[in-house]
Amino acid sequence: MLSLIVFWPALVAAVLLCVPARVPPKVFVGAWIAASLVDLVLIGVVWVGLPAGGGYGFEERVVWIPTAGISYHVGVDGLSLPLLALTGVLFTACAVFAWRETRRVKAYVTLFLALQAVSLGLFVALDLILFFVFFDLSIVFMYFVIAGWGHGAAARGAALRFFLYTFLGSLALLLGFILLFLAAVPHTFDIPELVAANPLAGGGLYSGLTLLAIGVGLAVKTPSVPFHTWLPPAHTEAPATGSAVLAGVLLKMGTYGFVRIAMPLLPATWRDYAMVVVIVGVVSVVYGALVALAQTDLKRMIAYTSINHMGYVLLGVGAAGLVAGSDEQARQLATTGAVTQMVSHGLITGALFLLAGVLHDRGGTYDMGAYSGLAARVPRFAGLFVIAAFASLGLPGFSGFIAEFQIFTGALGAAPVPTAVAVTGIVVTAGLFLLAVQRLLLGPLRVPDAPGTPRPFPDVRVSEALAVVPLLVLVVVLGVVPRVLLDVIEPASRTLVDLVSR
């Protein structure tokens, strides 16, 4: 079942490769939309069939390279299923958004389908090497998306920077995986086996270095300060769909790595260095928010808020490791909040980046100074943007609040000062989103003119609305009836909290 979910987009991509490029672009995009919807249905089936008591469901294991302890092992639990669903939803939204794409559509669609397959694969992988393969392939495919469909010559530079930086991070990750492999007897890369064996339960230097390697590798992808500088240019130059996938799915691979690998496989060391994680998280929160506040480019601003939001995740998972200062409920809240934040940020930031794409499509620039008073000209765009902005600043009623409230509440007892500092982040994000809303939407009307003639500036089109609105609807649903999601996450986060504290 999971293999079908993962390889179905790849299969469709392979079939599309055989179709001549002369065929109308809508055929390719239509196939992509259909393929994504099929995948979503399959994910829905998995969601319904997930074992209630925690543990992995839909496991598949096939011998791959037995001499090196590597197998093709996939499965889902409450930590990975929400992200699997998020990936399915975001790619579907991107497929719908791409309906009007005209540039080399065949290559575009096949590339995205391949990216979709590896992203889905990463979240179901239960083998370190399988995880690593998907991790690296996602970097490769995203490189081509940015370089091939970005905004001009700068895109290739940004893509190269993105590739080299994250690829270097993945090498650190591989080093950490090999260290784990060597520590386990018998040697294996299988995650559940490593969890059960807990080879580095004693902590120590070796274990510390392993966590350092894995942590740096994941921190680059997350990204957390100071490993974040690849993110803003990559976002600024990427096409809207690329940005949405980059922020919505690829960043989650980093944070997901913490809850899937770093925490359960290195529990003793995680507890020892939890405060470091908390502090890195808080620095990311405050630094990301403040730098975002100073941006004038819409996409750069959203990119820095991603750093801020991922900082909350680190705060949550770090606090889950501070066993001494908190009770079980607090640590569980922090962990659940961190996973909720991953889903929530994916949906909200995906919507924001797609809306930024709508703006760029009309005005040709992301510079907020070039626009003003759009609420009068394009009220639907304005309404959607305001909703997404308020969701992103953590307003109750939207999913971001559910995530951040859990993280703050759970983390305060164990790390009072860092949490108190991190809470200020929500005021700064409120300020910067209000500023963005004011610059873009309010005041007297101004739009950038094309040379000679006034630029037509139509409101959100149907295909764009069909991409963005479902994301925001989900954000509201998760904000109002979060039990839908929390019922899935909580058993898994309880297991994780137990694993970390053993």
- Residues near another protein, by CB under 8 A: 161, 164-165, 225-226, 228-230, 232, 287, 290-291, 293-295, 326-327, 329-330, 332-333, 336, 373, 375-376, 379-380, 383-384, 390, 395-397, 401-402, 405-406, 408-413, 416, 419-420, 423-424, 426-428, 430-431, 434-435, 438, 441-444, 482-483, 486, 490
Please report how close the Cβ of residue 139 comes to another protein at its closest, in angstroms.
16
- 373 neighbors 442 (Cβ within 8 angstroms): yes
Q: How far apart are the first and last CA of the chain?
A: 33
For residue 374, give both structure tokens.
């759009």
Distance in angstroms (rounded) separating the CA atoms of residues 317 and 384 = 31
Least Cβ distance, residue 442 to another protein (angstroms): 5
91 versus 304: smaller Cβ distance to another protein = 304
* E strand or H helix at 58: strand 57-65
What 3-state DSSP class applies to 61?
A: strand
* Residue 489, token pair as written in the block: 């996450």
Query: Which CB, 203 or 373, lies closer to another protein?
Result: 373
Q: Which is nearer to another protein, 200 or 247 (CB)?
A: 247
In the complex with another protein, the residue whose CB is nearer, 215 or 223, is 223
What is the DSSP secondary-structure string of 201-224? TT-HHHHHHHHHHHHHHHHHHTT-
Question: Considering the complex, what minimum distance in angstroms separates the CB of residue 396 from another protein?
Answer: 4
Residue 77: CB minimum distance to another protein, A: 17
CB distance 328 to 497 below 8 Å: yes
Specify the residue, 107 or 423, whose C-beta has the smaller distance to another protein.
423
CA–CA dist 307, 230 (Å, integer) = 11
Q: How far is the CB of 55 from another protein (least distance, A)?
A: 19
Q: How far is CA 1 from CA 60, 61, 71, 124, in A?
A: 9, 12, 17, 11
The minimum distance between CB 128 and another protein, in angstroms, equals 27
173 or 220, CB closer to another protein? 220
Q: CA-CA distance, 358 to 465, in Å (whole number)? A: 10
| Segment (H or E) for 73 | strand 70-76
Are 321 and 271 within 8 A, CB to CB?
Answer: yes
Here the tokens at position 202 are 């004693």
CB of 326 to another protein, least distance (A): 7
In this complex, which beta carbon is closest to another protein, that of residue 129 or of residue 375?
375
Q: Which residues contact 184 (CB under 8 A, 6 or more apart)?
A: 193, 194, 197, 199
Q: State the nearest-atom distance from the C-beta of 124 to another protein, in Å.
A: 25
In this complex, which beta carbon is closest to another protein, that of residue 46 or of residue 289? 289
Question: Least Å distance between CB 413 and another protein?
Answer: 3
Decide whether 101 or 490 has the Cβ nearer to another protein: 490
3-state secondary structure of 65: strand
Q: Which of 288, 325, 293 is nearest to 309 (CA)?
A: 288
User: Between helices 25-49 and 2-18, what is the axis angle to 10°?
Assistant: 170
Give me 29's structure tokens: 């995009």
- Residue placing its CB nearer to another protein in the complex, 30 or 383: 383
Choose between 37 and 477: whose C-beta lies nearer to another protein: 477
Q: Measured between alpha carbons, how far is residue 299 from residues 134, 165, 173, 179, 353 in Å?
A: 27, 20, 29, 38, 7
- Residue 365 CB, nearest approach to another protein (Å): 19
Q: Please state the φ and ψ torsions of residue 68, each to the nearest 5 degrees.
A: -105, 10
CB of 120 to another protein, least distance (A): 28
